Amino acid sequence: MAYEVNANGAIAKVRNPWGVLGLALITLGIYTIVWYYKINKEFKEYGAAQGDQELADSNPTNSVLAVTLGALIIVPAIISFINTVKRQQRVQQLGGVEPINGWIVLILLLVISPAVYPFMQSDLNKVWERYPALTDGGGAIPAGTQQPAAPAQQPAQQETPPPPPPPAQ
């Protein structure tokens, strides 16, 4: 189950890593393009919210174009993927989490390429899970997520009925 979090003003999504893999397989890889755009957009928004100009200036659309159309000449796709991993490492540093190991990403990409996406998402979730969850559409906060602190409320005072009138004489 995926849910959104408020990461210091940027909206990010905690996704199930196996869901990313499953959707990638079911859609024959099309979901990986959508996922790639979404995480790059989250990186951009998070960078802007944290005041990191390099992240804020990144362009998710160009990243996707590089791994799709640019893949025809190979080099742009490789550069885009390397830059995305670097952006993820930067987001993790800003979020106070140990950055993803780029060498493991490379080995997975070369040996078991479908495993790269759940690995990256799982590591990215470590940052996003540190922030409070937004409600789902119905106002409920997903179970097991960090809930934002509720404002202190005064207990309702019970109204006491007025004393009965004195008996008439």
> Which two structure tokens, joined as six digits, stand for 96?
């106070």
pLDDT in tens, 18-43: 999 999 999 998 999 999 999 999 99
* Residue 169 forms part of a structural domain: no
pLDDT in tens, 108-164: 989 988 889 999 999 999 999 988 888 655 444 555 545 444 434 444 555 666 666
* Residue 163 forms part of a structural domain: no
* Residue 112 forms part of a structural domain: yes
* Residue 7 forms part of a structural domain: yes
* Residue 137 forms part of a structural domain: no
The pLDDT value recorded for residue 71 is: 86
* Residue 134 forms part of a structural domain: no
* Residue 111 forms part of a structural domain: yes
- Tell me the average pLDDT of the chain: 83
Query: Which domain covers residue 7, as residue numbers?
Result: 3-128
Burial 146-167 (b: 16+ CB within 10 A, else e): eeeeeeeeeeeeeeeeeeeeee
Percentage of residues in the chain having pLDDT higher than 90: 50
* Residue 28 forms part of a structural domain: yes
For the chain, the straight-line distance linking the first and the last C-alpha, in angstroms and rounded, comes to: 74
Domain count for the chain: 1
d(CA 134, CA 116): 27
